[in-house]
Chain A
Amino acid sequence: MAASMNPTAVEARTLVKQYGATRAVDGVSFQVGRGEIFGFLGANGAGKTTTLRMLCGLVSPTSGQALIDGFDIHGQPLEAKSRLGYLDEEPFVHPHLTGREFLEYIADLYRMPRGPERQRRMERLLRLFELADRDGELISAYSHGMRQKIGLASLLIREPSVLLLDEPTNGLDPRSARLVKDLLEELAARGTAVLLSTHILEVAQALCRRIAIIDRGHIVATGTMDELRAQAGSEHASLEDLFLKLTAGPESRELIERLLAPNS
């Protein structure tokens, strides 16, 4: 990969996305450095997926800029896209291709040189994700987790320098989830920038050097665990406590009690 000298791999500059009357994302800015794993946390509907889709060019922002390796995803899309790998919440696949054909398709789409080396890489990926003995089956017959895995494999086959992953461990069994975590750490150590959204706080805490918490379209906190604790003013709080405190809603215990109260 021809990595430019720019140390910032992903940069969101006051991204805004308006859907009719709702502001799904309202002025989000952050940077992800090369070799960094950056976590993106937030409640359902907070705007994580929308932000990631703006960063990868699937959704155009109402205002603001998204830069990949210094290339504006809308200004210089081809340069930016060739460096980028994005995994959607529900991976985009072609149901009528087999797993192996799908990987070939993606590799060709990105103009990867054909030949034995590419073949070897594909074998390794299929084996890594335990898809090797199902590679001749149509993707439409894959289970949810297998689709997630073939989606990941289709990113990794072309070695992008920036990975944007929307809940990558969603639907994976514990073993595969562990595999993905180890893989991401290894990739980051080799210089890949990873931006991932997740609801699993344990994944975020274990994996991410820095974390951003987004709430109703705004980033309410960014930084390392320690910086987050400092921002929240509680020194020994767990990530869960921080998350609940920063994305404050009505106290859940009270609501539950009201729901379960006997009818008077």
Chain B
Amino acid sequence: MMAPPAIRTILGAEVRGLWNRLVKRGATRLVVLGALLAVAIVVIGGAVFSLGDAAAQFLPMARDAMLAGGFTALSVLMLVVGFPSVIATFFVGRDLLQLVLAPVRPVEIFLARAVLAMTANLLISGILIAGVFGVGVGSDASPVYYALALLLVFVIVMVVTSFQVMVMSLIIRWVPARIARDFAAGVAALVGVGFYLTWNVSLRRSFGASRVPDFSNLAAFAQRTDWLPSAWPGHALSAVIAGDWSSAIVWTLFCLAFGVMLVGAAGILYQRTLLAGLGLFGGGQAVWKRAPARRPKSMASGAGSPARAIARKDWLGYRRDIRRLSRLLPALLFPVGYALTLIRPSRTLNGLWSDVAVAAFISMFVSMALAVPSIPSERRGFQLLRMSPLAMSEIIRVKVALTLPPVLALTMLLTIAMAVVGGVGIAELLQLLVLVIWLVIGFVSVGVSAGAIDPNFEAADDRRAVGLLGTMTSTGGAIAFALLSIGAFALFHLGAAAATGARLGPLPSTPAVAALIAGAGALLAAAAGALVVVLLVVANSRLRAYEGAISST
């Protein structure tokens, strides 16, 4: 009897593992996951599709730039977002050690893993396909276009994956092994942030102070990235639309040749470095090397304080776990970029409301980035807290208290900067700041609670440290809290306007009406507060009853 080929065996085991993980989650989780996925596909996919469709119809000259830019932008996104997963698939994990011990050739491991790694980019390539199809519909493309688009998206995913493997293989050769993985994640994150900021600056110039958008900057930016191989599929597709078959074939051949070359090179490099990578990463996490013992002169007296101990540990952990940092930095930089793009000298009264929206968004983003992982990132060390004579409510309180200062500092700084740039008056700035403080306290509490409601302390990957329920709680809770709070803020404003006798459309401006409106605002604020309290209470009881698998060996 012939033994089955190694690739099939490896893939079979992976698929079975995925299946088991899915099925063991239970029926409700599966249904929720499916529903979320369907909604995401319809909403995001539909939006991107219509955007492509509309853009292709109304800007026929920009089709090539759009397609090329779309492929490049999403390749960069895959490069950054998928990097940790790709590294994990190819270089980390005890199951890889098992494969290395077995009489299997590294090429076979590489191919089997490449298929697996593609799943990491499934979501983004789905978005890309939706957009590209939209452009096709908008420009009445022939059926060849769609078939070619699918092929080219597949090629681009393979190219990105191979590129990631190559980068990692090279890094393993040159960078001290212990920090290689963090180094790679950091490089990827920085590339992404750089791209994003450049893009943002172009956007800002394009949609800047003048009323008529000026697309020349945007077009110039797109042109500057034209030569990148990631833009080639876009050229091929736009040539198909234009009916220019010879250039379409040339660009497609370029893409295919480039893909084959990169996959081959990655395969060869991978063979050379697999063992080196594994020997070094197989076990625990990579960390910076430490300078030899520095005796702390801890002659402090008084009782030890658990809160201070947790604060110190978290601080040291953040400093030393470059991977966590490399994930946090982009998360913090994105809202800054966003704020930069949107802040404009305000021309009308609406200025305050756009500032409110931006401030709310920034507070939410920064709070969530820091607060949600604060309890799950304890990892197995959480058991130490559970065994210590600390109540869970105390631990939640400490985590909220520790997350608040940096988030508050950052958001208040951004808010003040925004107000100064936007020429907001001092009274309105004060209102904004009060709102931001209220929002941050709420968001951080919601985030910490969400992390506590569904933590996965055994997750090997930080991104899996919070489960689906936690992610949903954090997003849903934060959005609900934001809506209630901003609603309250708006009602207070309206009430104040009514009290001063301003015209309020159909409403009469009497003190009674003003009081009524303010009362409604207070009610909304109370509801927002109640939401936070409920989440904190649920988090407390979930943590007390927590019993997820403690890694049993």
Contact = CB atoms under 8 A, between A and B. Distances in A.
Interface of A: 49, 53, 56-60, 77-79, 81-82, 84, 86, 88-90, 92-98, 100-101, 104-116, 118-119, 133, 135-138, 140-141
18 contacts: A58-B550, A60-B547, A81-B387, A94-B384, A96-B287, A96-B317, A97-B313, A97-B316, A108-B308, A109-B304, A109-B384, A111-B303, A111-B304, A111-B305, A114-B304, A118-B304, A137-B292, A138-B290
Given A58-B383, A58-B387, A109-B385, A114 B321 contact: no
B320 A96 contact: yes
Interface in B377-396: 379-381, 383-391
A115 B301 CA distance: 5
Given A105-B309, A108-B306, A136-B291, A86 B387 contact: yes
Contacts of A116: 299
Interface of B: 284-285, 287, 290-294, 296, 298-306, 308-310, 312-313, 316-317, 320-321, 379-381, 383-391, 545, 547, 550-553
Given A89-B552, A115-B299, A98 B290 contact: yes
A109 B306 contact: yes
A114 B298 contact: yes
B306 A113 contact: no
B429 to A, nearest CB: 40
A84 B387 contact: yes
Given A100-B293, A140-B285, A57 B298 contact: no
Contact of B287 (A84, A88, A109, A140): A140
Given A53-B550, A82-B389, A114-B302, A95 B284 contact: yes
Given A100-B293, A140-B284, 5 more contacts: A89-B553, A92-B381, A104-B309, A105-B312, A138-B287
Contact of B298 (A88, A94, A109, A119): A119
A71 to B, nearest CB: 11
Contact of B317 (A84, A94, A114, A133): A94
A57 B317 contact: no
A225 to B, nearest CB: 30
Contacts, number: 129
Contacts of B553: 89-90
Contacts of B303: 111-114
A111 B310 CA distance: 12
B301 A114 contact: yes
A92 B304 contact: no
Given A95-B287, A108-B304, A136 B387 contact: no
A109 B321 CA distance: 22
A118 to B, nearest CB: 8
Given A59-B547, A105-B309, A92 B384 contact: yes
Contacts of A60: 545, 547
A133 to B, nearest CB: 8
A240 B294 CA distance: 48
Contact of A105 (B298, B301, B313): B313
Contacts of B298: 104, 114, 119
Contacts of B383: 58, 88, 92
